[in-house]
Structure 1
Amino acid sequence: MSETVIPSPAALARTAPIFDRLRHVIPEFEWPAFASDIDAIVELKRHRNAVVLAHNYQTPEIFHGVADIVGDSLALAREATKVDAEVIVLAGVHFMAETAKLLNPAKTVLIPDLEAGCSLAASITAADIRLLRQRWPGVPVVTYVNTSAAVKAESDICCTSGNARKVIESLNVPRVIMLPDEYLAQNIARETGVEIVTWAGHCEVHERFTATDIRAFREQHPGIVVLAHPECPPEVVAEADFAGSTAAMAGYVGAKRPPRVVLVTECSMSDNVAVQYPEIDFVRPCNLCPHMKRITLAKIRRALETMRHQVTIDPDVAGPARRAVERMLEVQP
């Protein structure tokens, strides 16, 4: 089992190009704490024929330091189908690792910490969906990817925050059941005009933002551009200049280059985007996801050293769950 050690001069030299990209968001005095693990992970990936997939909410030393593929849930789901490596390490939360395994059943998928969960995934069960189908017979069930494989298996199609509108519109029906994020469903209902049966699940990061917070940002930072995640309450989205997935927010920053911006989402997102745009002033509302922060460089290294923890899915669940995810991926971006 690996321990944090003072990096060797060779490890510092090998990781120096990575630090050069990150010096805008990671102080130089902190880099030695990361260099040994990054250097070891790079070598372990070669040895294991492994890749690291990292969500946008991972910290910069993971996101820019060791990840091979980065993005939001939709991007990671799409890219997971193209991976040639034998081993996938998912630097994210458990439902993302399950999705990667669904799409790569023959590959080894590792989650560095089994306790990296999600308040949305924990808010609903497969039994809940079966009861909803009894109450709303014939109404299609659209399930957010922030759910367990067992819940996906009870669904007709999955969606992410990046493609939820397109998925809903692709069904061409007047009413859908959309689970479990109540606020995302409400925001999509307003955009599409489709009647959406919701579930009272919330993201423990995004539910804490308020419209008052947004107005305070504008008062304290005149001219600031506010970008909000659609998991935020509808009144927060209404106050924002733009609402979209983490990938859409990053795209907006790259295209518009606002002088000052606030990303109303998990706080590591701002750090990761700021690496690409050091000239932009990012105001950081630091709401942390405790589950994402369970993933560390040391745990990624340990996962590759020990090949733990391997994600497994019951075959009876995997088949229908995979179909729901694949149907989502068939919807044109």
Structure 2
Amino acid sequence: MKKISFVSGSLIIIMLVLFLTGVLDFNNGIKKSIASGNKLYASEDYDKSLEAYQKGLEKNPEDTILNYNSGQASYQLNDYEQAIEHYDKASNKVDKYLNQGNCSYKLADSSNDMNQKMECYNKALEAYKNGMVNFPSNVELKYNYELVKSKIDEMNKDNQNQQDDKNQEDNKENQQDDKKNNQDGKSDQQDNQDNEENGDNKQEQQQDKDNQNHESGSNDENKNEDGEDESKEEEQESEQSKNQEGNQDEDKKNQQEQGEKSDEDKEDGSSMNKEDTSEGEQNDKDIMQILQMLEKQEESSLKNNQQVKNSGKEEKYDW
């Protein structure tokens, strides 16, 4: 029993020594990393100082001192995103909030993307705000907070102006489109009106044409009727002319017969001198009859001529 108790006690002592030795070695390793890194940081060899701090963080990633120092070295190397991650695990110091906000501010100034710029400004504003909560009397935190706040307000104002300009431009384009549509609508209405007027004109022209054809047909009918009337009148006048010519022929024939009789009387003058007065009287009667007949023929001729004048054709048949 005494041997077992001695062995157990020996093991406990050995384990305790090893534990104490490891703890001492662990603490000595972190202290060495901090000391080595601080020395390099003071000489402005930021890359090697960061490497020294990273060796210590491999042993204890949550060490507040190593994270703060790593953040400072990353800030000097312009690796602002990595610096922000280290500052998040650092102990509460004014420089932690100042530098964390400054990293976000520098990222905002280096970005050309307006959305990313606004996001970084808001992160910087939040870091300064947290610092003022923990250190309300610090003037630098307050100054940086107001500076970033003015940047954000200016960007919001510019964005609003750009949005207003865009809205005005959109409204202007919409108005132009509406105006164009109205003009197109008026043009379509005018075209429709012109087409309707053309259709009406065509209908009127067709009606005029039909009326003209109707009038032409009426004129043709009138011409036919007039032609028939003229034909009838010409036939009547032709018959009258024939009658007159017949009367003239009869007069000539009678005159010729009278002349022949006169010649016979002249030839027989010697014998007629011896006839009685009764025969001379008879000849006078015959002459009177002839003259009366000629007068009747002349009256008939004048009468026919007067009928022709009254028919309105005197220019063609006046004689």
TM-score, structure 2 length as denominator?
Answer: 0.18
Higher helix share: 2
Q: Select the structure of larger CA radius of gyration.
A: 2
Write 1 or 2 for the structure with the bigger share of strand: 1
